[in-house]
Chain A
Amino acid sequence: MSVTPTAMRPPVAADAPRTVAKRSSRSDWRRLWQAAPFVLPNLLGFLVFTAGPVLFSFAIAFTNWDLQRSVPFRWSGWENFSVLMADKDFWLYFANTVYFLLGMPVAIAGSLALALLLSQKLKGVVIYRTLFYLPSFTSGVALMILWKALYNPDFGPVNAVINSVSDFLHLGVKAPQWLLSTANLVGLDVEKVAFTGKQFGLGARDAIIIMGVWTAIGGSNMLLYLAALTNVPQELTEAAELDGATNWQVFRNVTWPQLAPTTFFIVVMSFIGGLQGGFEQARVMTNGGPAGTTTTLSYYIYNKAFEEFQIGYASAVSWVLFSIIFAVTVLNWKFGNKETTY
């Protein structure tokens, strides 16, 4: 296979535009045929295993498709969506999903702080970077089981530390029951989307958020920030330092604006990941409990589709979730992207 670079092609006479167009079109086709075997496996995989199912799920969201054949199949129009609007569980689990996003700013700030530390010229910095990245290439399920043990209310190390500190300082603080408790930091009610003082505290949702923040701080966000930090022009930093700027002023006025595109990307991806997430944690650590407080929309979709077999309804929930993610991404793009231009 040989492809003639454009620069090496013979000059084209100005009076022969049609011939050139024909020849170029023929050569385009030839090049396409040559490239097709390389692209096709991936493209076919995408069409069959991604695009096809996505479109199929969109279609079945407008049906009552149930894996139990005693329910006759029919097109149900917008019925699934209107049922969903009145579905108490959907809103409860949506609230849980949104609640889990509370950890996002902390995780992003933590990743940035860690990246700033790891971008220093330290001895053995590569080892530190690897250590902090460890949670990202360790099995998620193993980590969740480990955290489940850490959160053990009586014998877990987390509460052991809390109790020791509380005893030492005579604070009289009662350690949280973590994965067994329905309490949460904003007092979200268990049975309806409302706030109540009774639920104020630390519970299963917060336990999962803390674990998520721990995992995310040393994860791909940190790597992205590390890469972005190496791209901050050294001359800008040096100029600011020569002008007498403090470290904070250099960070605030030079480094941070330069990191804006990366931050924007991380925020968008974190929103998408956060809204889609929660399934593994619920499945491994809590079974969605206690009392459904760690059930997120993704776990609800699984339950509806594969435990209650309402595939049509589950697809409708999936598409509503997609719409929410899409809307949030558009909003992010509209308002967050402004910072990225200079």
Chain B
Amino acid sequence: MKAVFTGAFVILLLLSAMAWSILPKPVEAGKTQIIWASDDNPARRGQIDGFNKIATDAHVSLDPNNTGLQKVVVQSLAGVGPDVFDSGDGTLNVLIDADLAWDVTDELKKRGVDIEKDSWKAIQTYCVREGRVYGIPSNAAANALFINKTIFDQQGIPYPNGPWKWSEFLPIAQKMTIRDDKGRATQFGLLIDWWLWPQFVIQWGGRIYSEDGTKCVIDSPEAIAGIQFLHDLIYKYKVMPSPVEEAAMATQGGWGSGTITQFGEGQKAAMAMGGRWWLCTLRNKKQFPDLKMTVCEAPYFNRRVFYGYGRATFINKASPRREDALKFLLYMAGPNYNALINKQADALAPIIKYCYKPEVLFDPEFPEEDKNQVWLDAMRYAEPTPTSPFVNYQAAQRILTRQLDLVKNDQKLVPDALRDAAREVNAEIQKTIARNPSLKAKYDAILAKRPVATL
């Protein structure tokens, strides 16, 4: 028994030594450590290294395990939040209302950074509210169509060029969709992540919320027509996989998995709608040795607009190191970071002027990517993520997702689903303002200003 215990002790000792040996190295003396809660995108480490090389008194470390709004909010309110954190769609209101995001308007102005003037309009809603700047966009994306050149070449069809309409797109996608004797698709014309549904709403001239955000209007005829078309791509035109077919194609886990790998791995789809950030994964020749691709602008209906999205980086208001963290934000607004984003293809750089450079339009290291102008055009026509200040984004998303899941599974008619979604989101708006007197006052003030006919 003594030998067993001694053996166990020695093993534990060895494991401890191993753990010590792989511990992150302490930050150099005299440098302040800044913790950045962000995803473990392979590009992120390069972005951090870029800062750490030039910063003389600060050192940024990535904390990929504590990303996500829930963790950031809860940890920050408990006083153990990260110094810098990223946030995405529709979360700005929460960050401001929870008093987490440091208002950096004046700090940036003093240092000559004007986010409202310099960055892409479509992503400003991620960090600017009512003229106040709470963070810096860390990248900017709008989708285009990835084209699998091999499939097009096999079919003898020329690669499409934008701008073009969905009506022009459909015959090509139908030709590209191939099914076996049992009716099972062996190749699809198009892959789209379902979460991109807002693009169809805005292209058909619809909106999710009224302009002032007081009402959910996703049941408008335009929005219904847009979502109906998305549904029809699966069930009527059959150029896109149904949820069942999608599950059959699914890959498991990891950053950049899902639709990206489905497109990248061989002959599964001729076209896929995605952002430039897909290239971070698709450039990996070891994973996708046979992929030959190009891009073209995504089709549109009656409005040549695209759904714009990205990330923004914020400084934790409660961070004792926020002055040092500001240096990191300034780095993100500067030439090195922006050039790196464009080089890495982590979508597009947030600051417009750094995107219109010859090396962005053509990077000799990636000669296949010869149509980078497409990304710039898509971003130019991009519209921001529609949100309302009068409803919690997650609560509204839960309602919208539930109804759109039923549409995606062909279990509910689009008009019925969107009518129910609008009704439920509007009820949630009423609940939210009933809980929050200052929000209610703002809501009432907007309604009071509105002409009677529109009430």
Contact = CB atoms under 8 A, between A and B. Distances in A.
Contact of B97 (A64, A70, A191): A70
17 contacts: A67-B73, A67-B77, A68-B94, A69-B99, A70-B436, A71-B97, A71-B435, A154-B245, A154-B247, A155-B248, A181-B409, A191-B420, A291-B402, A291-B411, A292-B398, A307-B395, A308-B392
A154 B253 CA distance: 19
Contacts of B77: 67
Given A190-B406, A303-B394, A180 B98 contact: no
A-B pairs, top 5 by smallest CB distance, nearest first, are A154-B248, A68-B97, A306-B70, A307-B394, A70-B97
Nearest to B436: A71
A308 B395 contact: yes
Contact of A289 (B69, B99, B401, B439): B401
Nearest to A312: B435
B311 to A, nearest CB: 18
A307 B250 CA distance: 27
B437 interface: yes
Given A67-B74, A71-B436, A309 B392 contact: yes
A181 B410 CA distance: 10
* Consensus secondary structure, chain B interface: helix
Given A64-B435, A70-B436, A309-B94, A180 B244 contact: yes
Pick from A145, A191, A291 the residue with the most CB of B within 10 Å.
A291
B105 to A, nearest CB: 19
Interface in A78-130: none
B435 A307 contact: no
Interface string A232-273: 000000000000000000000000000000000000000000
Contacts of A66: 435-436
Given A190-B406, A289-B401, A306 B74 contact: yes
A149 B435 contact: no
Given A145-B253, A307-B70, 11 more contacts: A66-B436, A68-B94, A69-B97, A71-B97, A152-B247, A152-B248, A153-B247, A291-B409, A306-B74, A307-B395, A309-B73
A45 to B, nearest CB: 19
B438 interface: yes
Contacts of A219: none
A190 B99 contact: no
B184 interface: yes
A290 B405 contact: yes
B392 A303 contact: no
Contacts of A152: 247-248, 250
A67 B402 contact: no
B252 interface: yes
A110 B398 CA distance: 37
Contacts of A309: 73, 94, 98, 392
A308 B406 contact: no
B243 interface: yes
Contacts of A149: 252
A72 interface: yes
A69 B97 CA distance: 6
Contacts of B420: 191
B374 to A, nearest CB: 32
Contacts of B99: 69
A276 interface: no
Pick from B98, B401, B402, B420 the residue with the most CB of A within 10 Å.
B402
Contacts of A291: 402-403, 405-406, 409, 411
B398 A303 contact: yes
A177 B99 CA distance: 44
Interface residues of B, number: 35
A177 B147 CA distance: 30
Interface string A282-293: 000000011110
Interface in A159-218: 177, 179-182, 190-191
Contact of A69 (B98, B245, B392, B411): B98
A305 B124 CA distance: 28
Contacts of B438: 70
Given A153-B248, A190-B411, A191-B420, A182 B97 contact: no
Given A154-B244, A308-B395, A70 B439 contact: yes
A335 B244 CA distance: 45
A290 B409 contact: yes
Contacts of A154: 184, 244-245, 247-248
B282 to A, nearest CB: 24
A116 B394 CA distance: 49
A303 B392 CA distance: 12
Nearest to B427: A88
Contacts of B439: 70
Contacts of B401: 289
Contact of A182 (B69, B253, B411): B411
A132 to B, nearest CB: 27
Contacts of B250: 152
A307 B403 CA distance: 19
A307 B401 CA distance: 15
Given A190-B411, A308-B394, A68 B69 contact: no
Given A66-B435, A67-B98, A306-B74, A292 B402 contact: yes
Contact of B405 (A64, A153, A155, A289): A289
Contacts of A64: 435
A60 to B, nearest CB: 14
Contacts of B395: 307-308
Contacts of A306: 70, 73-74
Contacts of A181: 409
Nearest to B71: A306
Interface in B379-410: 392, 394-395, 398, 401-403, 405-406, 409
Contacts of B73: 67, 306, 309
Contact of A153 (B94, B244, B392, B403): B244
Contact of B406 (A72, A155, A182): A182
Interface in B404-455: 405-406, 409, 411, 420, 435-439
Contacts of A67: 73-74, 77, 98
Interface in B62-101: 69-70, 73-74, 77, 94, 97-99
Contacts of B184: 154
A71 B439 CA distance: 9
A181 B70 CA distance: 28
A72 B409 contact: no
Pick from B184, B253, B392, B439 the residue with the most CB of A within 10 Å.
B392
